[in-house]
Structure 1
């Protein structure tokens, strides 16, 4: 999912996401997170970083109502087009500043869920803790917060290749690092942060989960780099980006490709947690 800083270009679209990262909301991939949500027919759920709503659709039939929020206007438009109903609504919200949304941060939610979004939202160090405090403030006493995001070491091979590609283009390593749109914390960091804002943490865990890339003509490794690494590429002149993407794919070819069938896999590391407001 997205929920990236609104100050950045909105590079997201339902079509690009489906081509390059449809695995993010597949029931098989998100099964553990959905089990943690434990949806009930009376639940009022807030979905933070909902993207185009396809993940939300996994639990929508089992709950009372849901509000999905995301910073990408194009993704929210898709979510409303496909899934809006009397019990499902989707709104454009820059989740870095969730605490300003007083109609949401009102202590009325039974559950808050977030899938594959917090590593974008928490990238901004200046708003990191205030966002987590706002999520805590959304919940009723006894309410549950469940999440899954990129954890420490997530897609390390691609991130390394992107950083090095920028350095090869004359960008300093410091600026290249600052260009990264992701924050992949450890389980230790996340547990401490959640406890600091008042949560009772039931579980936080890291899982190494190699993930197969799509085989769509517009997806695969090239599509993933263009979509997920868009902010890296925006640091380069536009007429040079295609060549850099090709170079990155060439460097990673034997790293991510399995010889027996040619499938390509990235080293996803997922950080998953359950916390209660007490």
Structure 2
């Protein structure tokens, strides 16, 4: 008897697990007071007063991909370039600049409201799929870093969504609807898993509607090893798992460095070159 090819097994799993989506699609136009209060409490637990004094962030990451990720979503993963990164974020107006380094060389990304530009080893990319993926990644990683503060943006509504366990901690779930969504998406939906006791945000589950090939997919990212830096509680360990169309581990990465308020401006973050102020490597996290 012949063995069933593993891709067929994967397809069967894809179809069966996608039948049990966990992020609701019902229309919600106004926030529920209890849900809004929980998000506000989580922001306070993470250091809202200190966060409000932040104007820009310089961060560095290092991560590794599970074997399935590059096979399932090669454009989104872009594993030849996304290994270690230096990233700069200006919070308002939101500008995200990234320099990714991997076995394929250097990928640079510049994301500003409604715009995205990327270059591979100095060559500007005009590939629509690569640009969509870069915009989605830039926005999503900002969400992962900022946690509950990301959801301060206008156009977001909140609703209660039940409860769950994350790392054995009982969490209240809040559904957040982002309009616009991540990257080029008109809308994305996130489930915030907020620790019932500490109000720390322990996990987000989100849709990935900003890329044609991931529309309908869902992933969750669990936050661990929090550090308080300059009055704000930051996650430093991130674990990503695909939840739909199938359930598999995707990506694990760590925050290696963080610096607050260098005084960055838009002119410091050109796609082809960062100024010396921006290019200075991010200091390692304190022990």
State TM-score, norm by structure 2: 0.32
- Richer in strand (by share): 2
- Richer in helix (by share): 1
